[in-house]
Amino acid sequence: MQPIGIFGGTFDPIHYGHLRTAFELWQALGLKEVRFMPTGDPPHRDAPLADAAQRLAMVRAAVADQSAFVVDDRETRREGLSYSVDTLAELRREYPQRSLCLLLGMDAFLGLPTWHRWRELPDLAHIVVAHRPGWKAPTTGPLGELMVDRGTGGVRDLHSATAGRIYVHAVTQLEISSTELRDLIVDGGDPRYLVPDSVRAMLRESGCYAQDGR
Ligand code: ATP
């Protein structure tokens, strides 16, 4: 059975760096689908600037024309702090026989040891790490150990087991970040060609970053 990819993020806002990464991983890994999962109230970073409903609406608009991209809004519906370990445990119960792949950029992977109960994550899903510009795979510390214990260079391992492996994959490097996009919009710039046109239209209509007073 083909694995399900889970792509979490604040998506504040979603941009082509996210979409191209998800697309390349979907193709290269032979995923059944990529599930975009916007965070509700993220525990390990500053609060997002667009509210969950706005971020979710932008993600929905961005993936509308790609049938293998699915939006899962469970974290935005949850009250209080939302932890990836709880989300993955829930998905594991829903899909006991299915391979699950947590898709992360390298920057997110390097921050993994700060995540709540992070050591349980590889038992719930494979972890697939997309190279991002300027980031190197860790060779020391807890993540270096994790790579030695669970690293694999074979996509088939992601299909033959339901969880447990770490796989690093190079994707086309698009150096776009949500932070820079927000700054651009605050400064009156146009995010054209950095985000889908549908998202650009929503950003204009809502004025969500332009109005935050920064
Ligand atoms: P911010 O600038 O607000 O931190 P971001 O652009 O990094 O946002 P997130 O929503 O925090 O976006 O990221 C969600 C996931 O997408 C993370 O796993 C992150 O590593 C990955 N990601 C973000 N930007 C890119 C990019 N340009 N290319 C590949 N992966 C990316």
Q: Which atom of ligand 1 is nearest to the CA of 173?
A: 28
State how far the Cα of 124 lies from the Cα of 117, in Å rounded to an integer. 12
Question: Domain range for residue 33?
Answer: 4-175
Concatenating the DSSP letter of every residue in 187-210 gives TT---BTTB-HHHHHHHHHH-TTT
For ligand 1, which residues put their CB under 6 angstroms from it? 9-12, 17-18, 21, 104-105, 107-108, 130, 132, 174, 176-179
Query: Is residue 213 one of the residues assigned to a domain?
Result: no
Query: Is residue 181 one of the residues assigned to a domain?
Result: no
State how far the Cα of 47 lies from the Cα of 213, in Å rounded to an integer. 15
Query: Is residue 123 one of the residues assigned to a domain?
Result: yes
Q: Total domain count for the chain?
A: 1
> 163 alpha carbon to ligand 1 midpoint, in Å?
23
* pLDDT for 211: 58
Query: Is residue 193 one of the residues assigned to a domain?
Result: no
Query: Is residue 187 one of the residues assigned to a domain?
Result: no
Query: Is residue 160 one of the residues assigned to a domain?
Result: yes
What tens-digit pLDDT sequence spans the chain (214 residues)?
899 999 999 999 999 999 999 999 999 999 999 999 999 865 555 666 888 999 999 999 999 999 999 999 999 998 777 899 999 999 999 999 999 999 999 999 999 999 999 999 999 999 999 987 667 788 899 999 999 999 999 999 999 999 999 999 999 989 899 999 999 999 999 999 999 999 999 999 998 887 554 4
Query: Is residue 201 one of the residues assigned to a domain?
Result: no
* pLDDT for 151: 96
Mutating to test ligand 1, I would choose from 168, 177, 179 the residue with most ligand atoms within 8 A of its C-beta, which is 177
* pLDDT for 4: 98
* pLDDT for 214: 44
* pLDDT for 43: 55
CATH number for the domain that contains residue 90:
3.40.50.620
> 58 alpha carbon to ligand 1 midpoint, in Å?
15
Q: What are phi and psi of 61, to 5 degrees?
A: -65, -40
* pLDDT for 101: 98
What count of other Cβ atoms lies within 10 Å of the Cβ of residue 94? 10
Concatenating the DSSP letter of every residue in 41-102 gives B-TTSPPPSS-HHHHHHHHHHHHTT-TTEEE--HHHHSSSB--HHHHHHHHHHH-TTS-EEE
Q: Which atom of ligand 1 is nearest to the CA of 171?
A: 29
Global pTM reads: 0.94
Query: Is residue 210 one of the residues assigned to a domain?
Result: no
* pLDDT for 213: 45
